[in-house]
Amino acid sequence: MRKKTLQYFIALEFVSLLLITLVLGGCLGTGALYLFSKKSEELLGVNIGLSEVGVVAYLKSIGTILLIYLISFMAARDIFVDFNIGKSTDLKAIREKMPVRWRKGLMMIGILICIYTINEYQQLRNFESVVLLLLFFAGIFMVLRYGMAEYLIKERRGRNYLKKLLIHNQLFHRSRTSAGYIYALTVIEFCVLFYFSFQMISAGIAEDEDVLYPYDIVCIADDGDEDILSGLQEKYETEMDTYPMLRVSNYDSTERREGISEPDPPQGQHIGISESTYHALKKKLDSSYQAASLGLDAEGENIYVVHQQDKSVKAQPLDYYQVSAREPLIHIGQPCEYVDAIHAKRKDVGYYYKNIVGEEIGSVTGVFRQGLRENLVVFSDAYFAQAQEIWKMTNIWTGEPIPEEERIPDVTIRQGPTKLVLINADQEEIADIVSDLAEFRERHVYDEAYDASVLCYYTKQDAIKDLRTERVMKIAMNLLVMIAFSVIYIVLVGIRMLTEMENNQRRARFLECMGMRRKERIGIIRRELLCYYYVLPMVLAMIFALLYTGAVFCARLYQPDDIHNYIRIMAPLWGICISVSGVVIWCLVTIYVYKVEGKDERK
């Protein structure tokens, strides 16, 4: 009864403190964010309004707090054990059993999980999924827990066991706790060196604004807009280029998996162009561009994709439906609102699986929707000419072929956008041009009705403002989280040392009675702490971070120049993180060993 009551009050205390932390921290954080937004233009040169911080930011913050709370729970458990709360037995004297069975098998499973997740993480189609990272963490735990047990048992049977007995004493005596701490420290440092630092560095090496937005205004127009566009060109003497296009929709535009009872996922909208138009657009951006065949076929089975996003955005597939396959499910035309997964999977109702024979990440017309919308889908010239007529035979609601007698324009069939218009003009005239495009937008109310993020025209000025805000927030938030995780790392090591203080003092007295010199005893404790709570976790974290950094290079299709620029920033940043943590840990260990030893025995 006492045990159940004790557990009840401990659980009540932890949950209450978590809720208090979230409520008070949320209120104080929102207030600080409000002050930051007021002073953002003065401090950073970018006006960041509270509207830029949505629900997702709060959810991510809560997730980070829960992770910190989980780590603190580990520390609290050790303190609980250290003080023998609720127990008459000395829990510290009880030896933790190492795994006995299936050590090699479970260790190999962990290794295979790690290899699998790294290989999958480098695939663009997996959009750098957090699930893969969580699976990787599970693999690391299996490798550390069972691999360390296998190593220690083999060492105990070898000739060198006595030489390493004192150094490895804690690993034998508290195998589960030691493996748990090494695992936690490795994961924390991995997040610092890879997950948060990559987001921050990638935002720093991303392309310039003029490269990402080569045109002042990009319009998605149709044949009925000729009068408005020609009037703008005559009035403002703009540089205007027009290319043929068609709307291409993909079935699933969200990485979240919908449940059985949930409605169908929102469909994405992209820009379909011909291969000759693609080469013309690339040539306009780079006069030295040499056109080469993309390997597209006349039947339209093969496509080439340009993911229009910058280097700071994670890799994203064209279609999230069945992302394990390299065949996106796309539709020639605007989204069909009454299509579900059962109909979409059939190849005779307007949604077809296409084979991606090539893809690139970069900006051709502008990264206005950062890879989620308005990517370029390139077809062969022969198929593009056929695709321009598909709208005449397709029901706009279901995507199914429609009989000739039922084809009613703007009721059952609709052409959709047909022209990609790229405009460059004097900066002083941009505001007037946008004002004159009000009528153009009224004509395209239907095109913007399905998805508010897909517009009939985009402006470089608005996009640059959003881009600057996004980059500043990304760098600031990830830097703050890196610092927080580094502090957690140091605090966790400090708590671990304090909970082992009494055991180490007992061992020091025993070794002193056995005749060991003070210098040797200090060296044993120092090597043990530095090895298990700094060197080993840091080395493992660096190895894993390097592997995952290379995987992201592959996923985001980084070029050699991009990799060089990344490493140029990564090297000093890693050096600072590792050095600062090393210096702090060394100071803690130095103070700790002299506290364990007490006063010099000669005195």
Q: Is 576 exposed, middle or buried (0-12, 13-18, 19+ CB in 10 A)?
A: exposed
The residue assigned the tokens 């920033």 is 569
Inform me whether the pLDDT recorded for 93 exceeds 80.
no
Give phi and psi for 476, each to the nearest 5.
-65, -45
CA 548 from centre of chain: 12
Residue type, 214: P
Interatomic CA distance for residues 401 and 376, integer angstroms = 25
Inform me whether the pLDDT recorded for 257 exceeds 70.
no
Inform me whether the pLDDT recorded for 1 exceeds 90.
no
Which has the minimum average pLDDT: 150-154, 178-182, 344-348, 532-536? Answer: 344-348
Mean pLDDT of 318-325: 75
Mean pLDDT of 368-390: 93
Q: Is 295 left (phi over 0), alpha (psi -120 to 50) or beta?
A: left
Residue type, 462: D
> Which tokens is 571 given?
């090297």
Instruction: Give the model's pLDDT for residue 244.
Output: 95
Inform me whether the pLDDT recorded for 108 exceeds 90.
yes
Of 25, 46, 114, 62, the residue nearest 543 (C-alpha): 114
400 Cβ neighbours under 8 A, 6+ residues apart: 343, 349, 350, 394
- Exposure letters 422-460 (e unless 16+ CB within 10 A, then b): bbebeeebbeebbeebeebeeebeebeeebeebbbbbbb
Instruction: Give the model's pLDDT for residue 43.
Output: 61
Instruction: Give the model's pLDDT for residue 114.
Output: 95
Which has the minimum average pLDDT: 10-14, 86-90, 543-547? Answer: 86-90
pLDDT averaged over every residue in the chain: 85
Tens digits of per-residue pLDDT, 554-564? Answer: 999 999 999 99
Which has the minimum average pLDDT: 74-78, 204-208, 488-492? Answer: 74-78
Q: Is 272 exposed, middle or buried (0-12, 13-18, 19+ CB in 10 A)?
A: buried
Instruction: Give the model's pLDDT for residue 17.
Output: 85
Interatomic CA distance for residues 296 and 309, integer angstroms = 23
Interatomic CA distance for residues 327 and 344, integer angstroms = 13
For the chain, the C-alpha Rg in angstroms (whole number) is: 30
3-state secondary structure (DSSP) of residue 70: helix
Tens digits of per-residue pLDDT, 266-284? Answer: 899 999 999 999 999 999 9
Inform me whether the pLDDT recorded for 262 exceeds 60.
no
Instruction: Give the model's pLDDT for residue 102.
Output: 86
Q: Is 421 left (phi over 0), alpha (psi -120 to 50) or beta?
A: beta
Instruction: Give the model's pLDDT for residue 603.
Output: 42
- Residues 511, 517, 518, 521: what is their CA dihedral angle, to the nearest 10 degrees? -50
Instruction: Give the model's pLDDT for residue 602.
Output: 45
Q: Give the model's confidence band at 255: pLDDT under 50 very low, under 70 low, under 90 confident, else very high.
A: confident
Q: Give the model's confidence band at 50: pLDDT under 50 very low, under 70 low, under 90 confident, else very high.
A: low
Instruction: Give the model's pLDDT for residue 92.
Output: 53
Instruction: Give the model's pLDDT for residue 70.
Output: 75
- Residues 241, 242, 247, 248: what is their CA dihedral angle, to the nearest 10 degrees? -60
Tens digits of per-residue pLDDT, 402-443? Answer: 888 888 988 899 988 999 999 999 988 999 999 999 999 999
Instruction: Give the model's pLDDT for residue 51.
Output: 58
Inform me whether the pLDDT recorded for 371 exceeds 60.
yes
Which has the minimum average pLDDT: 182-186, 237-241, 318-322, 361-365? Answer: 318-322
> Which tokens is 580 given?
């600062």
CB 270 within 8 A of CB 250: yes
- Exposure letters 517-532 (e unless 16+ CB within 10 A, then b): eeeebbebbeebbeeb
Tens digits of per-residue pLDDT, 194-215? Answer: 999 999 999 989 989 999 999 9
Instruction: Give the model's pLDDT for residue 88.
Output: 47
Instruction: Give the model's pLDDT for residue 100.
Output: 73
Instruction: Give the model's pLDDT for residue 341.
Output: 64
DSSP collapsed to 3 states, 319-347 = CCCCCCCCCCEEEECCCCCCCCHHHHCCC
Interatomic CA distance for residues 177 and 170, integer angstroms = 9
Q: Give the model's confidence band at 52: pLDDT under 50 very low, under 70 low, under 90 confident, else very high.
A: low
Percent of the chain at pLDDT above 90? 41
Inter-helix orientation angle 175-190/130-157, to 10°: 140
Mean pLDDT of 44-68: 69
Instruction: Give the model's pLDDT for residue 339.
Output: 80
Residue type, 49: G
